Amino acid sequence: MAQQFFKNDYGFSFARTDLNAEVLVGQETAHDSIAWLDLDGDGHIDLIAITTQQGEEEDTDHELVALQIPTGKALWRALNGEVSQKVAVVDGVVIVSASNSNTLRGLNPSNGEQLWSLDLDDQLEGREMFDDDEVAAAITGRGAWAVFQCTDETAHVIEAKTGKLVKSVKGRLEHNWLTVPGLACFVVEEDDHKEKFIAWDIASQKAIFETTNDTAPAMGNEVFALLERDYRNDQTVVRVFDLNTLEETKTVVAATEQGKSLSQGREEYARQGALLLPGGHLIVGKSGEGEIAVLEMGTGPAKEPQAKKGFFSKLFGGGGGGGKKATARIVSPPKEGYGFEAFAIAGDSVAVAYRKTQGTEKIILVGYDKNTMEQRWVVENLGGRRTEVCLLSTGNALVVPKSQRPEDHHWHEGNQQSWWHINPADGSKVTEYPVAEIQCVEVHGKYFCAFAATYGSCLPVAYDTESRERVL
């Protein structure tokens, strides 16, 4: 049966579904109110959403609904008047907050039946989703486990299948978007009021790394890295771990050419600020600054860098510490007045988004060969207003925002904004995916998903980037 559409006040079209309500959404709950999963095994992504009849914050107005895509049919409904504002799918279980976020419930995704319930000592914490791209969803999967934070400044790990509490820490989750299976990262306060970073192996119940120095992560394909800023020796130590075993496989002391270095402290780190490439490179950037650093992890001894200065003065140092150093080269933006914003890998390319640092918001996207980091292509005049998240990847496609009027972030006839599907091989535009609100977007597998966070509620949209068609 063909989908039926209706238009909102701005003229954007949405598909009619069995929701009979809008999805609960807001600055603190945008990603948390929607989960995406193939519920019926037809190979097509489906939607689980917390809906609201009147746009109210109270649980009595909320319901959890599973929606089949593309028909829009409601597969099941659950927890009417009880569900709160946060939902996630972890290890094949729907985990949802209830009772004003003082309880977690695990549900069967096939039929919505309850599998377990866990009372919390304090409320599940939510954070503003679009003001800081480091912030992850309130309930985040780590393979067989889920991690979450409570408002009493405690962090917790539970087993997703059973709801069993595995670990609780007086502290906070750190780099919570870093979804390494079996790994939870915490920051706790020591007796001397220093903060300690702990990378915790959940299965073995032991720390694989801990330090009081600033630490930033970098994701790779089969590996991930922890970058520790060693202030005593004025350098950065890059520790590489196997993604499956969590065992450390390599340690590199990092230096740079030109004596520059990058600030990667906890307060300044952004989720797309470091990336490990298959060819053995580590690329590092800081949001809002100009250059990126490209570190060849396999290189030998390096000459001593010059005196430290400028942008890279806090991460890669020069003096002391002994041992061999891998030397990073500095890559500048394609134009003056632009600074690094984000990395993404798609196909054989690494895409780097550079944002205009002053005036009208604009994005330049540059494609580099992922093995050599040599420039391949450039796309200019992208971007739009309030684009904290400005680059996403499905693995085979790059998607970047394009607004006709960058000062406006709502879709209407004079501003038919969209996210452009970019071919990672040559930077050409493949197609575009119109969105009602240019900032509220995320990727799930091959699907590009969007929703309009307007007046506390929204309606979702989804596109299949392989068939290049709208499915919701």
CATH of 1-212, one of 2.40.30.10, 2.40.128.630, 1.10.3720.10, 3.40.50.2300: 2.40.128.630
pTM of the predicted model as reported, rounded to 2 decimal places: 0.88
Can you tell me the mean pLDDT for 428-448? Answer: 91
Residue spans per domain, the chain: 1-212
Top pLDDT among 452 and 445 is at: 445
The per-residue pLDDT for range 184-231, each reduced to its tens digit, is 999 999 888 889 999 999 999 999 999 998 888 888 889 999 988 877
Q: How many CA atoms lie within 13 A of 290 on its CB side?
A: 12
The per-residue pLDDT for range 286-342, each reduced to its tens digit, is 765 678 888 887 644 333 333 333 334 444 444 333 345 667 788 889 999 998 888
**Residue 12: is its pLDDT beyond 50?**
yes
Top pLDDT among 404 and 419 is at: 419
Quote the distance between the C-alpha of residue 333 and its chain's center: 23
Residue 26: pLDDT band with limits 50, 70, 90:
low
Compute the distance between CA of residue 458 and CA of residue 461 in angstroms, rounded to an integer: 10
**Residue 471: is its pLDDT beyond 80?**
yes
Q: Is 60 helix (H, G, I), strand (E, B) or coil?
A: helix
Amino acid at 145: W
Q: Tell which phi-psi region holds residue 57, choosing left (phi > 0), alpha (psi between -120 and 50) or beta.
A: alpha
Compute the distance between CA of residue 47 and CA of residue 189 in angstroms, rounded to an integer: 39
Compute the distance between CA of residue 408 and CA of residue 76 in angstroms, rounded to an integer: 37
pLDDT at 322: 37
Can you tell me the mean pLDDT for 167-178? Answer: 88
pLDDT at 29: 58
| Cβ neighbours, 10 Å, residue 92 | 12
Nearest to 392 by CA among 335, 360, 435, 333: 435
Residue linked to tokens 């450390």 = 248
Burial of 427 (0-12, 13-18, 19+ CB in 10 A): middle
Tokens encoding 163: 């709801």
pLDDT at 306: 37
Can you tell me the mean pLDDT for 118-147? Answer: 78
Residues in the chain: 472
Top pLDDT among 138 and 288 is at: 138
pLDDT at 317: 43
pLDDT at 30: 64
Mean pLDDT of the chain: 83
**Residue 440: is its pLDDT beyond 50?**
yes
Considering 31-35, 397-401, 406-410, the range whose residues carry the highest mean pLDDT is 397-401
Q: State percent of the chain over pLDDT 90.
A: 49
The sign of the torsion formed by the CA atoms of 70, 72, 75, 76 equals positive
Q: What is the DSSP string of 125-180?
A: P---SSS-TT---SSEEETTEEEEEETTTEEEEEETTT--EEEEEESEE-STT---
pLDDT at 49: 92
Top pLDDT among 458 and 135 is at: 458
**Residue 94: is its pLDDT beyond 90?**
yes
Can you tell me the mean pLDDT for 26-49? Answer: 84
**Residue 127: is its pLDDT beyond 70?**
no
Range of lowest pLDDT (147-151, 316-320, 383-387, 454-458): 316-320
